[in-house]
Structure 1
Amino acid sequence: MGDVKLLGTWPSPFSYRVIWALKLKGIPYEYIEQDLLNKSPLLLQSNPVHKKIPVLIHGGKPIAESIIILQYIEEKWPQNPLLPSDPHEKAVARFWVKFADEKSLSIWKVFRFSGEEQEKGLKESLEMLEIIEEHAPGLGQKKFFGGDKIGMVDLALGLVAHWMGAIEEVTGVQIMEAGKFPRLEAWMKNFKEDPVIKENLPELKDMLAALKRRREIHLASK
């Protein structure tokens, strides 16, 4: 177990992306919780550029940024693949992974801000959801973006599946109107009911308390 370590923080969706990938691959690892208000020497040494989690340490060598970590895990441990084998399908999946990673950050604008900035985040979040609902390949036809098994696109969109609802409750801002995104709603249900995901999700009540505290800190610092 000591050969693979994960530096993360609870309840970060970016940490959970990596946790899910390791669990799906069956890779044993040691999880090391990080306090981002008092960053450990190991975190600062492992990610000296951004000083952020998650960081995967494999054989003493660190890899930073959740999507890059997922790509590393996929290449290092090819069992239970997270990407298609067909080159074109793989390229399409990577496009949607990049889209999800970049565009889902708009949901954090709803969480971190109020007023005009929050409205901007809401507008961007709705645009993202509409694009996924209309254009994401396979959505609504199979259980997951990659087919009948969870793939990297699903992991990249984990924030939408579980954290978005908690952010709506904490902020009082409705991002995803019920019934407006039926294909996406079906995917969210399938994703959270998958045994590996279900067993590795933060408890909603604990997450709400943590997000409420974090939002208060963000707003007080503005």
Structure 2
Amino acid sequence: LCNKSALLLQYNPIHKKVPVLLHAGKPICESMIIIEYIEEVWPHTPLLPTDPYDRATARFWIKFIEDKGVEALRRIFRTPGEGEEPEVAIKEGWKMLETVEEHGLEGKKYFNGEEIGMVDIAFGSLIQSLTVIEDVIGVKIFESHKFPRLHKWYQNFLQVPVIKENLPDHDKFIVYFKNQREASLASPTLRAVAT
């Protein structure tokens, strides 16, 4: 965000960015930390499996998405123009998607089985951002013929009422990402961080 509100700066003075959940007057920052907090405060609708092994597996995929997925998107988003550099960034994105395609869902409707869970939320937000980035850079990366299981999963994910009702407007997201990309490409420092 370019215009940071006084409330944002008050409740997230360290990172100075969204999201921030304000609950009982206390701020909780960072997407996955907020999701974990929700899991603990409202346990009647669990987002992580109850089985310890399945919980560990879910945490593995969340960590994979945070490390490999977010980094791949960042490189795709911040790499300018055409040529070898953008191709390398896109191939990195494909590799991350291939890993999830081959090993993530294991024949299940959602990562957690028949109901969405924390991994679905983490990966769903990543894929939603990727679809916006595709529109911004004009390159299709998340192709259905390359990633049929992930595409089926994503269509199921988008139909979950709580997801469907709370997705950001795609067109507004595009405008925001275009502005962010222009700013990052104009800054030699930010471009250097991408590579």
The corresponding residue for 2:125 is: 159
Once superposed, what is the RMSD of the aligned Cα atoms?
A: 1.8
Percent of matched pairs sharing the same residue: 54
Structure with the higher fraction of residues in helix conformation: 2
Which residue is equivalent to 2:23?
A: 58
SS at structure 1 position matched to 2:166? coil
Match of 2:177 in 1: 211
Letter in 2 for 1:114: P
Aligned ranges 1:33-112 → 2 under 5 Å: 36-105=1-70, 106-112=72-78
Say if 1:74 and 1:81, in contact at 8 Å, map to a contact too.
yes
Q: 1:188 aligns with which of 154, 172, 182?
A: 154
- Residue 85 of structure 1 deviates from its aligned partner by 0.6
5 Å matches for 1:167-186?
167-186=133-152
* DSSP-derived class of the 2:143 partner: coil
Asked if 2 retains the 8 angstrom alpha-carbon contact of 1:109 and 1:117, the reply is no
8 A Cα contact 1:104 1:159, kept in partner: no
The change in CA–CA distance for 1:169 and 1:145 in structure 2 (over 3 A counts) is: same
3-state SS in 2 of match to 1:62: strand
2:94 corresponds to which of 120, 126, 141: 126
Distance 1:160 1:49 in 2: 23
Seen in structure 2, the aligned counterparts of structure 1 residues 197 and 216 have a Cα distance that, compared at 3 Å, is same
Q: Say if 1:205 and 1:45 are closer, same or farther in 2 by CA, change over 3 A.
A: closer
1:30 is matched with: none
TM-score normalized by structure 2? 0.86
Contact 1:112/1:219, CA 8 A, preserved across alignment: yes
Instruction: Give a deviation string over 1:118-156, Cα, whole Å, max 9, x none.
Output: 334312211110110111143xx2321111111000000
CA–CA distance in structure 2, aligned partners of residues 215 and 182 of structure 1: 29
What TM-score, normalized to structure 1?
Answer: 0.76
1:114 maps to what in 2?
80
